[in-house]
Amino acid sequence: MTASGSVPTFLGWALGVAVTAAILGTPYLFFAYHSPDLHLVLDSLDTGVALLVAYLLLGRYSRSGRLQDLLLADGLLLLGLAGIGLTLVLRLVGLDDDRGGVWLPVAVRVVGAALVLAASMTSARRPAARWNRPLKVLPWVTVAVGLVVTWALRDSLPLALALTPPASAQRPVIAGHAGLLAAHAITALCFAAASVTFAATARPRAGGRDELIRLLGPAFALAAFARVNYLLFPSLYSDWLYTGDLLRTTSYAVLLVGAAREIRHFWSMQAQAAVLEDRRRLARELHDGVVQELGYIRMETSTLAGEPEGRARILAACDRALDEARAAVDALGRSSDEPLGFVLHRAARQVADRYDASLEVELDDSIHADADQRHALIRITREAVSNAIRHGRSGRVRLCLDRHDQRRRLRVQDEGEGFDPVSVRRHAGGYGLTSMEERASSVRGAFTVDSTPGQGTTVAVTW
């Protein structure tokens, strides 16, 4: 069981056990109170929350395509319909008696609990295309079939529970038709198993924890104990408020918190998407404007006659400007969710292709870095590959991203002319080396250059 889902689920189970034990073991607590108004309010609240969360899950399914989201939406929709909504429908069709008005909501609730349990076991699976439409209409088909069957059997359905409320509210009254008690037991088992499974399979998602799924564990734990209380103290009296009603409403309150966090996450992602789209627009502007113009200047400069050294300096300046512009395009137009190895490979490939050099890569995709580190590593990669080709006269460069002594390491190797790092720093200033070293130190990394004239160069950053 993951830490992200175990603590709230444990608290949900602890609360359910504590309330049930207190009712069973303390003669001074009553399991039912006469309050018709409050009973109606709680029923309306539970139905509203169930339908809201079902709607949010359908929205998630439209984006993720996960079977889990669709089954959860179906299950919660049936649980919501089994409340006031179904009661109103039964009244309209004349089936709101003590038989059809009891058995149909109970049956619909069992199907809803079974769908919740099935959802907890599907995790990230996706349904086959042919099942999309049938699963979406499953709740409505269930209710329709239930109404038809209830109408057909309306005269032969058994009495679920005596109509007279219990005289004492201090002791369990496990009574009623065996089918009613079995339905409560099955529903409780489904919710309990779903609670444990959701807690065990809760996983982070992009942009943070999946709070809605994380809170399903405690929500269904409380729902399970609500059904246990209904089993001990059957609740079919709208004028009485039972401990099962309170536990059920508490479970929906937990779902409401999850729904609020889901809505907040959605709008946060919308804002991030808007920012990313704007960044991509700026990246396109840079690419179509500055980068194209710099490329044209470089091409024209290479054909000019005149002092070779001056032309070489202008070309070098153009190359640096192109690197800066392309780095800005990458920083603006790319998502931070891309694997680090993929980003570094793309940066090195852009430089190598410009000089018609070959590139070999050996990348560990499990290595990650934060945004600042990624930016610095990209710039170091570009500079090291450019230096290997332009100054080292190497036609082949090797890029490696791996782990060394429990630390992450980036290496750029070539088989070019090599150089004396001490001499370069002393006589030429070593601007490129100094820049790479400063970038490495900004990410609290160690920068090393291993090079010998005639034997190639290895630039490494370990962080």
pLDDT single digits (tens) 254-268: 999 988 888 887 787
Distance CA 462, CA 73 (A): 47
Q: What is the mean pLDDT of residues 384-410?
A: 90
The distance in angstroms from the start CA to the end CA of the chain is 32
pLDDT computed for residue 170 by the predictor? 52
CB 323 within 8 A of CB 385: no
pLDDT computed for residue 169 by the predictor? 46
The residue behind tokens 């088909």 is 141
pLDDT computed for residue 402 by the predictor? 92
In the chain, the amino acid numbered 77 is L
166: DSSP letter:
P
Six token digits for residue 95: 């089936």
pLDDT band, residue 99 (cuts 50/70/90): confident
Six token digits for residue 424: 């370069």
pLDDT computed for residue 113 by the predictor? 95
In the chain, the amino acid numbered 426 is R
pLDDT computed for residue 194 by the predictor? 94
pLDDT band, residue 283 (cuts 50/70/90): low
Which of 340-349, 377-386, 421-430 is predicted least confidently?
421-430
pLDDT computed for residue 62 by the predictor? 84
165: DSSP letter:
P
pLDDT > 90? residue 434: no
> Which strand (E) or helix (H) includes residue 134?
helix 132-152
- The more confident residue out of 175 and 435 is 435
Highest mean pLDDT among 232-246, 289-303, 321-335: 232-246
pLDDT band, residue 40 (cuts 50/70/90): confident
Residue range 402-420, pLDDT digits in tens: 998 888 999 999 988 988 8
| Other Cβ atoms within 10 Å of 417 Cβ, number | 16
List CB contacts of 314: < 8 A, sequence separation 6 or more.
301
CATH class of the domain defined by 338-463 = alpha beta
List CB contacts of 119: < 8 A, sequence separation 6 or more.
67, 68, 69, 71, 72, 75, 194
Among 367, 27, 345, 371, smallest CA distance to 172 is for: 27
Residue range 190-224, pLDDT digits in tens: 999 999 999 888 765 544 567 788 899 999 999 99
Mean pLDDT of the chain: 81
Q: Which residues face 242 on adjacent strands?
A: 32
With left for phi above 0 and alpha for psi between -120 and 50, is residue 351 left, alpha or beta?
Answer: alpha
Q: What is the mean pLDDT of residues 53-71?
A: 88
pLDDT > 50? residue 250: yes
pLDDT computed for residue 437 by the predictor? 87
pLDDT computed for residue 333 by the predictor? 58
Q: What is the mean pLDDT of residues 354-370?
A: 88
The residue behind tokens 């396109």 is 284
> What is the percentage of the chain residues whose pLDDT exceeds 90?
25
What pTM was estimated for this model as a whole?
0.58
* DSSP secondary structure, 108-121, as one string: HHHHHHHHHHHHHT
Q: What is the mean pLDDT of residues 130-154?
A: 88
Among 420, 378, 419, 418, smallest CA distance to 399 is for: 378
pLDDT computed for residue 50 by the predictor? 92
pLDDT > 90? residue 350: no
Distance CA 67, CA 57 (A): 11
* DSSP secondary structure, 348-371, as one string: HHHHHHHTT-EEEEEE-TT----H
Q: Is 209 helix (H, G, I), strand (E, B) or coil?
A: strand
The residue behind tokens 């710039």 is 379
Q: What is the mean pLDDT of residues 232-261?
A: 81
pLDDT computed for residue 206 by the predictor? 46
pLDDT > 80? residue 249: yes
Which of 89-103, 154-168, 352-366 is predicted least confidently?
154-168
CB 25 within 8 A of CB 228: no
pLDDT computed for residue 168 by the predictor? 46
pLDDT computed for residue 97 by the predictor? 72
Q: Is 395 helix (H, G, I), strand (E, B) or coil?
A: coil
pLDDT computed for residue 324 by the predictor? 67
Distance CA 448, CA 325 (A): 26
| Other Cβ atoms within 10 Å of 111 Cβ, number | 21
List CB contacts of 169: < 8 A, sequence separation 6 or more.
30, 31, 32, 33
pLDDT computed for residue 296 by the predictor? 65
Secondary-structure breakdown of the chain: helix, strand, coil percentages, each rounded to the nearest 5: 65, 10, 25
Six token digits for residue 427: 């006589």
